[in-house]
């Protein structure tokens, strides 16, 4: 780039100067937070997969007073949480480059690697949540909620009722930016207040119908083209995922490996590697405790 003249054409050349700050990149919010939007209660240490017992349920009917117990064996079942998703990122920085810039290149590279992995990890969490074949879905798949927000509250309440009819206790609502824009127009929506936790503030935006609302920019993109979502074959260009309602205790994420490090490369080149690695397992342990609202364009 040519040096600048000031005044233009007739003045003096100015010196170039690089600032010691860097312009941040844009990433989706960190919507999955333990204890808020998922549970990590089954995290027990290093493992390839985790088995969770689920007791069977029998039926109890009243008898006349004085009746003896009727013994029965109710078989349980096993839920498998496979730690089968690994997220790797290694960012290369030459020593000559690092010593030629005024900002802390290693710290910036490591922070960016963390954000890249976090973005992929959150997106996979949504994909695992909505990809469970038995997940419930709102029956209205022909149309999306009105852009003026006039029907968004009733739609969410009806979805919540579907879960309550299954005896679930939903507490979490993850919405797309499109759905959030409609919520903002609904008088029933209570916007979030300032919180001390910046991680929560990244995605938490308020409450409606007794549900904590989280906006997630990549919600719709987490539904892969050609995948089976809510019983339909997903067409990414046409279909829309409006929101997910679920009981956060029914969505488990277990992590067995976390690596965050700066490595001085000893032999291949002169420089450093900013490396991040996470191995996790994602599981909706009870599909009757989660529901998705989708628009199937082919059914319209």
* Geometric angle at alpha carbon 80, from 242 and 50, rounded to 5°: 115
In a domain, 83, yes or no: yes
* Geometric angle at alpha carbon 135, from 76 and 234, rounded to 5°: 145
In a domain, 42, yes or no: no
In a domain, 5, yes or no: no
Contacts of residue 192, Cβ cutoff 8 Å, sequence gap at least 6 = 201, 204, 205, 206, 207, 213
In a domain, 34, yes or no: no
In a domain, 4, yes or no: no
Total number of domains constituting the chain: 1
pLDDT at residue 188, rounded to an integer? 83
- In which residue ranges of the chain is pLDDT below 50? 196, 199
DSSP 225-288: TT-EETTEE--TTT-EEEEEEE-GGGEEEEEEEEEEEEEE-SSSSSEEEEEEEEEEEEEES-GG
In a domain, 107, yes or no: yes
pLDDT at residue 196, rounded to an integer? 47
In a domain, 63, yes or no: no
Whether residue 169 has a cis bond before it, omega within 30° of 0: no
pLDDT at residue 137, rounded to an integer? 92
3-state SS assignment for residue 209 = coil
Map tokens 């690092």 to a residue: 98
Residue 166: which domain range? 49-58+72-299
pTM over 0.95: no
pLDDT at residue 252, rounded to an integer? 95
In a domain, 20, yes or no: no
């Amino acid at each position: 780039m040519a040096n600048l003249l000031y005044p233009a054409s007739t003045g003096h050349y100015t010196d170039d100067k690089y600032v010691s700050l860097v312009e941040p990149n844009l990433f989706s919010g960190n919507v999955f937070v333990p204890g808020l939007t998922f549970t990590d209660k089954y995290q027990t240490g290093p493992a390839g997969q985790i088995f969770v017992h689920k007791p069977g349920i029998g039926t109890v009917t009243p008898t006349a007073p004085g009746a003896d117990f009727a013994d029965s064996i109710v078989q349980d079942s096993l839920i498998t949480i496979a730690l089968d998703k690994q997220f790797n990122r290694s960012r290369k920085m030459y020593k000559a480059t690092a010593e030629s810039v005024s900002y802390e290149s290693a710290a910036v590279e490591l922070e960016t690697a963390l954000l890249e992995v976090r973005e992929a990890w959150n997106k996979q969490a949504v994909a695992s949540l909505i990809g469970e074949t038995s997940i419930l879905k709102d029956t209205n798949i022909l149309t999306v909620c009105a852009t003026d927000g006039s029907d968004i509250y009733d739609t969410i309440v009806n979805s919540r009722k579907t879960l309550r009819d299954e005896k679930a206790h939903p507490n979490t609502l993850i919405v797309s930016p499109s759905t959030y824009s409609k919520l903002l127009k609904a008088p029933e929506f209570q916007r979030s207040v300032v919180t001390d936790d910046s991680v929560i503030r990244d995605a938490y935006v308020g409450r409606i119908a007794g549900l904590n609302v989280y906006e997630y920019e990549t919600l719709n993109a987490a539904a892969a083209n050609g995948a089976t979502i809510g019983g339909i074959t997903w067409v990414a260009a046409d279909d829309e995922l409006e929101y997910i309602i679920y009981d956060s205790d029914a969505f488990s994420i277990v992590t067995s490996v976390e690596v965050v490090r700066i490595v001085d490369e000893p032999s291949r080149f002169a420089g450093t590697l900013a490396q991040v690695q996470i191995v996790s397992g994602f599981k909706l342990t009870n599909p009757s405790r989660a529901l998705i609202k989708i628009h199937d364009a082919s059914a319209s």
